[in-house]
Structure 1
Amino acid sequence: MYQERLGAAGYITFNLARTNNRGDGLLTAIHKDYLRVLNYRELPFNDFGDRVAQLLHVQSVVPFLPNRKGNIGQEMLIVNTHLLFPHDSSLSLVRLHQVYKILQYVESYQRENKLKRIPIILCGDWNGSKRGHVYKFLRSQGFVSSYDDAHKYSDADAHKWVSHRNHRGNICGVDFIWLCNPNKSRKPLRTSWAEAVFSILKYLLRKASLAEDDAFAFLKGDNQGDFITFSALHEALSQVKLFGHPNGLSFQEMKKLWAQADINGDGVIDYEEFKQKIWNPKWSEQSEEYLETMIEEPKKGTNEEAIGFRVKNALLFPREAEKAMWPENYSLSDHASLNVVFSPLSLQCFSAQ
């Protein structure tokens, strides 16, 4: 039905079923009169939940904006996915793993194809709200919720709209179209990942009613010194079920996490490092605004012109969802449809030599 009707309307469709014959999957439709598909990749997560993602590298059929060097910046990356439902807090790390794999794959694809300055759009059912770890992780990587940007909502405005009535009968906002413009400064992905994992650890420790000092004591275990050793952290993460398969960290991931926390590299995590990296991490979230970035003439380096997007408009249907209500007579789906209109934006991006 979808292929026939969308095909007749001028769309090219890309379908991807979840692994292990789970019976559902993803569909992305690209209108051939407006966008040309340069490449298509499929990404199975191969972990709990049999989830998958699609990546499309597309180019505008009609150039967005001309400049002195010719028509530029008409390429973009589009990702579609459907994350695991958070049945309980133990699955927070699995969901974070899934997003981490998507961003790792996007970075790898950009390196392989030498794509420095193109916008990235992430679409789908993220099965998590603005209060969750996935949301904060994506924000720390420069992504902005396009619906919130259009309506000038802050990260704290999680209560102002909904997009889903789930199988438990709860209404929540879980459907996002994320945008990351090429002029966004982004911290290393591994740094954001470590911050997100430590945020989950802090949540679990606070859930167990542990205050800062008690949490430090728990993590250092039987060690008599005023510091946390690798083996003690390993044991603590195992106790809170953040280490080990099928849902926890691998040993290699544990080592990379340790490298992020041991700031001075002396082989232990002291109390100050614990506070800075685990208990009070700074996410360094990006600005809400999508304004043209003009940089003064640098002494060294180059200004590169690129094309990004400004969020022109965004709406949810049924419209009651925009007021955080769910109409009882809406039977099309248990999700509201999210529609976003982008307009091209000329950007100046600085590259250091």
Structure 2
Amino acid sequence: MSVSYRGTIMRTKSGKISSPVEQEPCVSCTTFNILAPIYKRLDQQNPNIRESDFRAFWLARNERILDWLLYECSSIICLQEFWVGNEELVHMFEDRLAAADYQTFKLARTNNRGDGLLTAIHKDYFRVLNYRELLFNDCGDRVAQLLHVQSVFPSSINKNTRVQQETIIVNTHLLFPHDSSLSVVRLHQVYQILLYLETYQKENKVTHMPVILCGDWNGSKRGHVYKFLRSQGFVSSYDIAHEYTNSVYADKWVSHRNHRGNICSVDFIWLRNPNKPRKPLKISWAEAAFGIIKFQLQKASLAERDAFAFLRADNNVDYITYSAFCEALRQVNLTGLSYGLSFQDTKDLWVQADFDGNGVLDYEEFKRIWNYTWSEDPDDDCSLDDSNEGNEEEAIGFAVKNAALFPREVEKGIWPENYSLSDHARLTAVFSPVRLRCPQRSP
């Protein structure tokens, strides 16, 4: 799906004209959870029988996976559940990808889980400038990879200037929500990624570049992680390509059939261009965390007034104290566990909730956090254009040209019974370079 893009005029949703960078190839990105053989069950009646015990089975399936990946020849490949614990499989992937001019990076999950991540960058499209590993050290032993890459094709930022476009790529696999209380772990994992990303960009003075987040997010478009990423300026490439931005179409497509037999949409390629406005990270995180708290309270059949009484505990007062707030979170399994909200997390949430800073939450303050309105799709404060006016800067970003899921049936919400490559569909997005006009940012 690495196709050339030759100067077609694009029109944004606001109707403004945007001209892409001419005479430069598109870049494509594939994300795929390839189902590690140590997790693939061959007999549903006996879950202890795994594919990893039968070399011929896992070897043949992974050879077919590689055949498809090399046939597509995406500029970026992000794999999850890569069986890093098997040297034969690792060498097979590394050797075949290297022969096809890919540079590969693998990262095992912590505590010797056996699987991990593999990211491959095609040398015809990108040079890798930096590679970082992020270990979450949480109950799911999850990890993430960050790659800072530079295009091998110079991009025209204006009539007189050509630059080597730089991009940040992240590959990750979030925790499976075995219980709704684990939502806070997944949210914390994403918060760590974005905090690390923000720090990396500031320290290296690379804020004016697009960011692509790939992986198995183990959560749908209705979840708190999705809303958190949206509030931070990220868009789902597939949904943009197919104009599924309205929540009405949340279940239009699926990408995974989990071990419970449920089909769901959990695999995403997120894009954030450097001109996207976003809230301060800590505020977005607090709003998402309050959303999880509200969900847990509603799950316990507590409406607004009842929830306020619950958080107030047995205190004969019309406000919530910090100690009562902490105890309520413990009772709904959001604190007091190794993977729950930390003491500092809880303190930060309290500071965000206590608007007047008097040390207690009255009912009006409680209502404000109970009825938080998410800013999932903030209005752009700059447009896609190729001019440079006022206190604006120009940068190179990406427009989503196309995106597809394979097998194609999953795009209609159908999981084909004859599909055997994985329990996930693979997702490929195609991006075309585009000039962006952005506000100048203070150093």
State the TM-score bracket (shorter-chain normalisation). Answer: over 0.9
| Inter-partner Cα distance in structure 1 for 2:206 and 2:352 | 28
Equivalent residue, structure 1, for 2:303: 211
Paired residues of 2:231 and 2:284 also in contact (CA < 8 A):
yes
Alpha-carbon distance, 1:309 to partner = 0.8
Equivalent residue, structure 2, for 1:39: 130
Q: Does 1:165 align with 2:257?
A: yes
CA deviations on 1:177-208 (whole Å, 9 max, x unpaired) are 00011011110110011111110110011111
Equivalent residue, structure 2, for 1:310: 399
CA deviations on 1:14-50 (whole Å, 9 max, x unpaired) are 0001111111100000001110000000011001111
Equivalent residue, structure 1, for 2:61: none
Taking structure 1 as reference, are residues 326 and 154 closer, same or farther at Cα in structure 2, changes over 3 Å only? same
Paired residues of 1:65 and 1:344 also in contact (CA < 8 A):
no
Paired residues of 2:155 and 2:165 also in contact (CA < 8 A):
yes
SS at 2:127's partner residue?
Answer: strand
| Inter-partner Cα distance in structure 2 for 1:324 and 1:162 | 5
TM-score normalised by L of structure 1: 0.95
Q: Does 1:109 align with 2:200?
A: yes
How many residues of Structure 1 are paired with residues of Structure 2 in the alignment? 349
CA deviations on 1:152-171 (whole Å, 9 max, x unpaired) are 00241211001111111111
| Inter-partner Cα distance in structure 2 for 1:236 and 1:132 | 22
Alpha-carbon distance, 1:229 to partner = 1.4
Q: Which of 99, 111, 121 is the equivalent residue of 2:190?
A: 99
Paired residues of 1:72 and 1:306 also in contact (CA < 8 A):
no
Q: Return 5+ residue gaps in structure 1 as ranges.
A: none
Equivalent residue, structure 2, for 1:53: 144
Which residues in structure 2 correspond to 1:90-239 (within 5 Å)?
90-156=181-247, 157-239=249-331
Letter in 2 for 1:90: S
Equivalent residue, structure 2, for 1:2: 93
Paired residues of 1:99 and 1:134 also in contact (CA < 8 A):
yes
Alpha-carbon distance, 1:100 to partner = 0.7
| Inter-partner Cα distance in structure 2 for 1:352 and 1:316 | 37
Q: Which of 398, 406, 425 is the equivalent residue of 1:336?
A: 425
| Inter-partner Cα distance in structure 1 for 2:164 and 2:109 | 33
Taking structure 1 as reference, are residues 200 and 173 closer, same or farther at Cα in structure 2, changes over 3 Å only? same
Equivalent residue, structure 2, for 1:268: 360
TM-score normalised by L of structure 2: 0.76
CA deviations on 1:272-315 (whole Å, 9 max, x unpaired) are 211112x11121112599961699965xxx21111111100000
Q: Which structure has the larger Rg?
A: 2
| Inter-partner Cα distance in structure 2 for 1:224 and 1:122 | 48
Select between 236-245 and 62-71 the one with higher mean Cα deviation.
62-71
| Inter-partner Cα distance in structure 2 for 1:211 and 1:127 | 28
Equivalent residue, structure 2, for 1:75: 166
What RMSD over aligned residues (CA atoms) do the two structures have, in Å? 1.8
Equivalent residue, structure 2, for 1:319: 408
CA deviations on 1:92-133 (whole Å, 9 max, x unpaired) are 111111111111100110111011211110000111111111
CA deviations on 1:52-91 (whole Å, 9 max, x unpaired) are 0000000001123342462236001000001111111121
SS at 2:252's partner residue?
Answer: coil
SS at 1:304's partner residue?
Answer: strand
